[in-house]
């Protein structure tokens, strides 16, 4: 009589040590229990259909595979972490584990065949099926040679620096060209980047390891992933460099502000002395001149900021233009956190102006902008 508990224990041990059981294992179990292999297979087949306890066990086939399931998972894990690492190290680790488990050594030919199959399944599959599965339009006139060359001319971070550092306008123009080239796939690059991220640093080396006239399917997939990741990373680079440029301008202004303020005060003092000297020579007291210098309309601190802003106006206008082009005038991928921020943007772009009355709400209250000339009148 076949006892279910003995069979479960046997299959559990096989699952833990081999990752599953084979037809040969069932034959050995039948011999141990003194029953026919056919009877044992029929009984296990019945239990699989009727008892949930047996659903946890994995059938590996009639014969034991040369690479166990655990070893295959190990290969997969190693390739995911570093696809271009020396494969000999993985092979030696597997051999050491086999010695510890008192198992036969793994043939090198079997190992490298399994390794190559895994690499192909990870980075190169049948082209039409892979692109179709990912819902990516694959152009009929697609050229592997042309797109592979584009990785050197368009999808590259080279030649985007000036003497003073990164050239944000050059970065932007390169990004526009990359987006135009990538548009042949008719997809959003952000959709596929998460699954590429962990492999990004290996993709170029994997592609360079494939001769131009071989494995065209794998090349097409790798090229798409490299192009895709470039668009995301170039966008991040552009935004980062714009932030850095604005920061450098602000630092420069902070370093120069006191000097500019002092120069303004010096100029104002010299002008006051000249005006008062002229009054002294004329022998008349002009109260309008006294009032003019007693009530300064704009403090030197504010005038200094205006001068420094004008000094960097071209840089600020360039940043504003690139941001507008990148976000379609702040309508794509942008959300203003506060109403004040939106107003500053609208003032900067001319959507609203200071020369007309307008009322805008700030955090539940409202402020009325009054033209400067009317404010001066009273």
In order, the DSSP letters of 208-254 are HTS-TTS-HHHHHHHHHHHHHHHHHHHHHHHHHHHHHHHHHHHHHHH
Q: What local confidence, expressed as pLDDT, does residue 126 receive? A: 47
Q: How far is CA 355 from CA 143, 309, 344, in A?
A: 56, 20, 15
Strand 165-166 and strand 161-162: the pairing is antiparallel
Tokens of 74: 């190990």
Q: What local confidence, expressed as pLDDT, does residue 69 receive? A: 63
Q: What local confidence, expressed as pLDDT, does residue 378 receive? A: 38
Give the length of the chain: 378
In a 13 Å sphere around the CA of 267, the CA atoms on its Cβ side amount to 9
Q: What local confidence, expressed as pLDDT, does residue 218 receive? A: 80
Q: What local confidence, expressed as pLDDT, does residue 67 receive? A: 65
- Cβ(194)–Cβ(134) under 8 Å? no
> Tokens 């990741």 belong to which residue?
229
The DSSP output letter for 59 is B
Q: What local confidence, expressed as pLDDT, does residue 289 receive? A: 67
- Cβ(58)–Cβ(20) under 8 Å? yes
Distance from C-alpha of 350 to C-alpha of 353, rounded to nearest angstrom:
6
CA nearest 200: which of 165, 177, 233, 158?
233
Numbers of helices and strands, H then E, in the chain: 17, 4
Q: What local confidence, expressed as pLDDT, does residue 372 receive? A: 37
Q: How far is CA 68 from CA 23, 72, 256, 297, in A?
A: 15, 6, 70, 84
Q: What local confidence, expressed as pLDDT, does residue 341 receive? A: 80
- Cβ(352)–Cβ(368) under 8 Å? no
Q: What local confidence, expressed as pLDDT, does residue 96 receive? A: 83
Q: What local confidence, expressed as pLDDT, does residue 79 receive? A: 67
Q: What local confidence, expressed as pLDDT, does residue 117 receive? A: 62
Q: Model's pTM, two decimal places? A: 0.56
CA nearest 189: which of 159, 154, 231, 219?
231
Which bin fits 333, alpha (ψ -120 to 50), beta or left (φ > 0)?
Answer: left
CB count in 10 Å sphere of residue 83: 18
Q: Over its length of 378 residues, how does the chain's per-residue pLDDT go in tens digits?
A: 678 888 888 888 887 776 678 888 888 888 888 888 888 888 888 888 888 888 778 776 766 656 666 676 777 777 666 655 567 777 788 788 878 877 777 777 777 666 666 665 555 544 456 787 788 888 888 999 999 999 999 999 988 877 767 888 899 999 999 999 999 999 999 888 888 887 777 888 888 878 888 778 888 888 999 999 999 999 999 989 888 888 888 888 888 888 988 888 888 888 878 777 776 666 666 667 666 666 666 788 888 888 888 888 888 888 888 888 887 777 777 788 888 788 877 777 777 776 654 555 554 544 444 443 343 343
Tokens of 318: 């360039």
């Amino acid at each position: 009589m076949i006892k279910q508990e003995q069979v479960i224990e046997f299959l559990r041990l096989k699952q833990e040590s081999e990752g599953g059981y084979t037809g040969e294992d069932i034959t050995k179990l039948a011999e141990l229990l003194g029953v026919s292999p056919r009877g044992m297979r029929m009984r296990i087949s019945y239990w699989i259909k009727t008892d949930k306890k047996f659903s946890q066990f994995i059938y590996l086939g009639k014969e034991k595979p040369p690479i166990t399931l655990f070893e295959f998972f190990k290969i997969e894990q190693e390739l995911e972490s570093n696809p271009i690492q020396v494969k000999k190290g993985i092979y030696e680790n597997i051999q050491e584990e086999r010695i510890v488990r008192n198992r036969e050594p793994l043939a090198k030919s079997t190992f490298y065949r399994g390794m190559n199959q895994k690499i192909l399944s990870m980075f190169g599959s049948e082209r039409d099926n892979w692109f179709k599965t990912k819902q990516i339009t694959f152009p009929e006139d697609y050229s592997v040679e042309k797109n592979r060359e584009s990785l050197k001319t368009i999808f590259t971070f080279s030649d985007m620096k000036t003497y003073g550092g990164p050239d944000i306008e050059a970065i932007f123009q390169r990004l526009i060209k990359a987006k135009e080239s990538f548009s042949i796939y008719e997809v959003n690059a952000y959709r596929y980047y998460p699954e590429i991220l962990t492999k990004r640093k290996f993709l170029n080396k994997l592609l360079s390891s494939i001769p131009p006239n071989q494995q065209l399917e794998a090349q097409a997939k790798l090229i798409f992933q490299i192009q895709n990741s470039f668009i995301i990373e170039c966008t991040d680079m552009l935004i980062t460099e714009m932030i850095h440029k604005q920061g450098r301008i602000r630092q420069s202004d902070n370093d120069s502000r006191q000097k500019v303020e002092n120069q303004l005060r010096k100029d104002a003092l010299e002008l006051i002395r000249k005006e008062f000297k002229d009054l002294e020579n004329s022998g008349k007291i002009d109260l309008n001149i006294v009032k003019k210098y007693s009530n300064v309309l704009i403090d030197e601190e504010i005038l200094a900021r205006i001068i420094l802003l004008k000094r960097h106006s071209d840089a600020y206008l360039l940043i504003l233009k690139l941001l507008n082009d990148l976000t379609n005038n702040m309508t794509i991928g942008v959300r203003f956190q506060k109403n004040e921020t939106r107003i500053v943007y609208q003032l900067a772009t001319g959507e609203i102006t200071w020369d007309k009355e307008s009322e805008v709400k700030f955090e539940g209250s409202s402020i009325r902008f009054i033209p400067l000339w009317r404010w001066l009148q009273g």
